[in-house]
Amino acid sequence: MAPFEPQNPNYDAEVRYRFAQQPYNLSIGAKITDVTPGRVEVVVPTRPDLVQHNGFFHGGLIAGLADIAGGFAGWSLVEADQGMLTIEYKLNIVAPGLGDQLRAVGEVVSRGRSIIVTRIDIFGMRNEKPVLCTTALQTLKVMKLPPELLHEND
């Protein structure tokens, strides 16, 4: 896949700033571990309140993590005065989410003027090896941020 060019030269700082502003991301203990143009990695450590009765990560958490990783992969490519909203995603859980953390890799597969499509793979761990537990496709709508949400207003 050809590399994408970010429209904001400060894309890394902007992605991390926007990520830290979202209470849900913080409430699940999510952390960004890598940002490159069109690609973001996010990890969530295991906690008792994030797993089901059988010890697997909860499907709702997995879906939320996919939305986060894909959304911020898209955000790494937009202009400083733009943001986005998820307008659709499809998720396939292909194995239980196990291990001490989930690692989500969001990658842009298509960047249009107003629509971005991402692919997200989420990995758990089994026998100290990463195991794909989820794959997803997401569609994002690029939009201008209202003035009160622009970064320079903080």
Question: Domain range for residue 109?
Answer: 11-153
**Position 5 in a domain:** no
State the pLDDT at residue 48.
94
State the pLDDT at residue 153.
47
Kindly give the parts of the chain with pLDDT less than 50: 153
β-bridge mates for residue 57, sequence order: 51
Please count the structural domains in the chain.
1
Cα 104 to Cα 18, 24, 42, 146: the distances in Å are 17, 16, 5, 29
Its pTM stands at 0.93
State the pLDDT at residue 126.
87
**DSSP run (H or E) holding 69:** helix 59-75
Query: What is the longest distance spanned by two Cα atoms in the chain?
Result: 49
**Position 2 in a domain:** no
State the pLDDT at residue 128.
86
CATH of the domain at 85: 3.10.129.10
